[in-house]
């Protein structure tokens, strides 16, 4: 009976891509997610930016890197994401 509960699949986690804007903290990077959405009244494209605090266990990302992050359980007051991979290094 206990094994039946373990076979349940958990929900898919959110994955986002963004740019590293800060790496000053230890094992934490700030990622800026930029999305373009249409304004509901004027139908003009508006740029929205969200900042995500992501766990970086190896401290290897630098400002300007494009990274992919995945949602995780809360690690601290603000940190709810983990860096999966570096898509492109800063030039």
What is the residue-wise DSSP string for the chain? -HHHHHTPPPPPPPEEEEEEEE--STTEEEEEEEEEEE-TTT--EEEEEEEEEEE-TT----TT-EEEEEE-S--SSSEEEEEEEEEE---
69 pLDDT higher than 90: yes
Q: Where are the domains of the chain?
A: 13-88
DSSP label at residue 3:
H
**What per-residue confidence (pLDDT) applies to 5?**
63
**What per-residue confidence (pLDDT) applies to 85?**
96
Homologous superfamily, domain 13-88: Nucleic acid-binding proteins (2.40.50.140)
2 pLDDT higher than 60: no
CB atoms within 10 A of CB 50: 11
**What per-residue confidence (pLDDT) applies to 11?**
86
**pTM score > 0.85 for this model?**
no
Residues 6-54: tens digit of each pLDDT: 677 888 999 999 999 999 999 999 999 999 999 999 999 999 999 999 9
Q: State whether residue 1 is helix, strand or coil.
A: coil
């Amino acid at each position: 009976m206990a094994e039946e509960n373990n076979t349940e699949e958990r929900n898919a986690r959110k994955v986002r891509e963004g740019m590293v804007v800060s790496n000053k903290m230890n094992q934490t990077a700030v990622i800026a997610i930029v999305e373009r959405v249409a304004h509901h009244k004027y139908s003009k494209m508006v740029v929205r930016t969200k900042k995500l605090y992501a766990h970086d266990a190896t401290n290897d990302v630098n400002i300007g890197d494009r990274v992919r992050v995945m949602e995780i359980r809360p690690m601290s007051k603000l940190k709810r994401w983990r860096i999966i991979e570096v898509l492109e290094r800063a030039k």
